[in-house]
Amino acid sequence: MNSAEKPKLGWGGKRDNQHGRPKLPSKDRRVNINTKITQETKEWLMKQNEPTGRVIDRLVVLAKSNET
């Protein structure tokens, strides 16, 4: 019996009912950003009760609402 004739043991690969996680829409994806900020800004961000990324997102929404 050569390797082509051996029965598969069922290891690896997706099962029929496992389709994987669906892709997030672009507007909901989060991306990494690296930047240098002043110590004062870092201290202010650390005092907030939210993750830093969420605080930055909130500041952007606020700035965009003030543009009009």
Q: What is the pLDDT of residue 6?
A: 66
pTM of the model: 0.59
Q: How far apart are CA 12 and CA 21, in angstroms?
A: 17
Q: What is the pLDDT of residue 26?
A: 87
Q: What is the pLDDT of residue 40?
A: 98
Asked if residue 55 lies in contact with residue 48, where contact means CB atoms within 8 angstroms, the answer is yes
Nearest residue to 57 via CA among 29, 17, 15, 22? 29
Low-confidence ranges of the chain (pLDDT < 70): 1-4, 6-15, 18
Q: How far apart are CA 43 and CA 52, in angstroms?
A: 11
Q: How far apart are CA 51 and CA 46, in angstroms?
A: 8
Please state the domain extents for the chain: 34-66
